[in-house]
């Protein structure tokens, strides 16, 4: 056990050093990524690859996001001036959620696959993370009861930003999510800032996420 822990801490440090050299994330986010174990979010059989900068399967045809992308999205989200609350669409295994829990006072996260949501809940409880509220639902509607959010972060790609999500962003807040880019066959990670005169859009980079799907998949 001790051996595995040491190996993963070293591997994690190597990964974070590599991310730091790419200059796409804040030191605060990199420090958090250096502390949150990624290997506990994936199946034991592939845990040895948890510190490669790559997506990995988490079951149900879904993937844990690439560390580079998590670093970039978390840094973008954390750039808001008020970090009271964030809404995440697509909990998946909960790794991105765990990073956000260290950046925001309250994290609200929605997942449409019940089994993934239950597993993420357990993993975060084991890590003693207690400022995350989970919901098993279709994230297209957001979570109006807890809005507005200082940041809304989507980890699945939509044709366009669902109106309910942009409606739930607080003034001076941000919405960050991948959208399908009609100009080329791919997706762009976009950052929308909510200003007093409307949303200001920025394209961050080309990305590849799983699609944002409608409806839910309950555990039988
Ligand atoms: N950040 C997660 C990413 C998982 S992949 C991680 O690193 O584990 C994207 C996730 O979005 C999947 O778990 C998928 O089931 C979920 N998803 C897709 N469409 C959704 C929707 N409409 N509402 C909520 N979650 C959705």
pLDDT of 58: 96
Q: Atom 17 (ligand 1): residue with closest C-alpha?
A: 90
What is the rounded average pLDDT of the residues 150-161? 96
pLDDT of 8: 87
* Domains within the chain, CATH numbers bracketed: 62-207 (3.40.50.150)
How far is the C-alpha of 124 from the C-alpha of 133, rounded, in Å? 11
For tokens 């040491």, name the residue. 6
How far is the C-alpha of 96 from the C-alpha of 38, rounded, in Å? 10
Determine whether the shortest distance from the Cβ of 154 to ligand 1 is under 6 A.
no
Q: What is the band of 2 on the pLDDT scale with cuts at 50, 70, 90? A: very low
pTM above 0.75, yes or no: yes
Q: Atom 10 (ligand 1): residue with closest C-alpha?
A: 90
Q: Are 143 and 162 in contact (CB under 8 A)?
A: no
pLDDT of 199: 95
What is the rounded average pLDDT of the residues 150-173? 96
Determine whether the shortest distance from the Cβ of 63 to ligand 1 is under 6 A.
yes
65 is catalytic: yes
CA atoms within 13 A on the CB side of 193: 13
pLDDT of 3: 47
Mean pLDDT of the chain: 94
Does the pLDDT value for residue 113 go beyond 80?
yes
């Amino acid at each position: 056990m001790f051996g595995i822990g040491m190996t993963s801490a070293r591997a994690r440090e190597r990964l974070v050093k590599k991310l730091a050299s790419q200059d796409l994330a804040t030191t605060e986010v990199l420090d958090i990524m250096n502390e949150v174990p990624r290997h506990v979010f994936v199946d034991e059989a592939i845990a040895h690859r948890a510190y490669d900068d790559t997506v990995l399967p988490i079951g149900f045809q879904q993937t844990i996001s690439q560390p580079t992308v998590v670093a970039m999205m978390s840094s973008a989200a954390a750039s808001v001036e008020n970090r009271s609350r964030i809404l995440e669409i697509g909990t998946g295994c909960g790794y991105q959620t765990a990073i956000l829990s260290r950046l925001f006072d309250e994290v609200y996260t929605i997942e449409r696959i019940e089994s993934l949501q239950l597993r993420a809940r357990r993993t975060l409880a084991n890590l003693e993370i207690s400022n995350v509220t989970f919901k098993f639902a279709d994230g297209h509607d957001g979570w109006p009861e807890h809005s507005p959010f200082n940041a809304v972060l989507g980890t699945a790609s939509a044709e366009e930003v669902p109106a309910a999500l942009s409606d739930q962003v607080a003034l001076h807040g941000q919405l960050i999510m991948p959208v399908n880019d009609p100009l080329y066959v791919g997706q762009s990670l976009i950052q929308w800032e909510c200003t007093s005169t409307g949303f200001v859009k920025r394209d961050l980079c080309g990305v590849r996420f799983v699609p944002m799907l409608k409806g839910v998949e309950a555990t039988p």
